[in-house]
Amino acid sequence: MRIEGMNQNVHLIASISALITLNAQALEEFIMPRMQQNTYLSHAKPAEQFGLQMVEGKHGLTYQGSPKIPGKQKVTVAFETGPIPLIKISNTPQNRSMNVLLDTGSPVSWMEFGTSLDFGTEFLGTSRKQLRYPGPLNTGGAPGFAAVVPRMDMGYVEIYNTPLYVRMALHSLGPFARGIEAPHVDTVFGYDFMKNFEYVRFDFQKREVLFSTTDIYVPDVDLLMTVATIKKVSEGGLAVEGSIVGSTTPIILDVAGDYHFSRGDVKVKVTKQVSLGDVVWRQVPTLLLPTGEKRAPRAGRKMLERYTLTVCPKRGVVYFERLPE
């Protein structure tokens, strides 16, 4: 019986490989059938094996912990395309690479199923209890399960045991890709990933991002416009203290969003005034957030790219510096 069970697993894995091969030509989203999902999830490993913990969160069972970044590291990575903060990350030993969208507006990180296979990702949990994504984000009809990436290389910096959620679909991250079609978005690193660094600096003029695990960031006093205080919001993501027409409110900084401003409290095409710290924007083009539970307003990339943003999670501040002339 044991041999038969092993043979069944071999056949299931072979059938998954065949599905992946056949579907690769179309490059259309393919949500993995539940039987194939279960085949991979049955090999889930305890979170503690990777220096993480299984905990009961607000919406259900999830993981807690951070990736391991040995030593003091600092690396600058160029954007792959235009002003979008999308970078290339590799796994040198396996000769694999992926396109990663840096999304400060997302509280958690996501990976496409096929990419998870390329990077040797391990699912977290046990054979009977997997960590299914418990949060409120729209996953686009495909479930997500907690996993860990054993190793990835960001430039010359090696990063180990990075936790994230794998969206159980091929060729698509659904809504997490933020409508970006080229280059294809394989993975999204949310604010949960960026919080592990001393600072992350987005330079939209040079079209690059700097990650540092060391050195407290010292802004250029001649360029510094404001220091915004990081605030906690219910839906997560990077939010700072701000205001809308003088009314104080946390505002999420969404560097991956291709828009100016979005809000759900009122339907308007233009917001008269938005402030982040001491920086003020007037007559800001505005989108309406989806209706439903109350959500914090968002400042998109078209607002933020006028400045160099340095996010300092451990100090709880974001520096806004004007672009040098």
Query: For position 325, what pLDDT does the model report?
Result: 80
Cα first-last separation, the chain: 73
CATH 2.40.70.10 occupies which residues in the chain?
2-209, 216-322
Determine whether domain 2-209 maps to CATH 3.40.50.1820: no
pTM for the full model?
0.91
CA distances from 6 to 15, 42, 120 (A): 14, 12, 21
Name the nearest CA neighbour of 243 among 255, 254, 256, 229. 229
Residue 19 confidence class, pLDDT cut points 50, 70, 90: low
* Identity of residue 275: S
Residues 178-185, mean pLDDT to the nearest whole number: 93
Query: For position 22, what pLDDT does the model report?
Result: 45
3-class DSSP assignment, residue 64: strand
Do the strands 110-112 and 157-167 form a parallel or antiparallel pair, or are they unpaired?
parallel
Query: For position 17, what pLDDT does the model report?
Result: 53
Q: Is a pLDDT exceeding 90 seen at residue 6?
A: no
Return the CATH fold of 216-322: Cathepsin D, subunit A; domain 1 (2.40.70)
Percent of the chain residues past pLDDT 90, beyond the cut: 76
Q: What is the overall mean pLDDT for the chain?
A: 89
Q: Is a pLDDT exceeding 70 seen at residue 2?
A: no
Contact by Cβ (8 Å): 213, 198: yes
Q: How remote is the C-alpha of 33 from its chain's centroid?
A: 25
Query: For position 20, what pLDDT does the model report?
Result: 52
Residues 27-56, mean pLDDT to the nearest whole number: 91
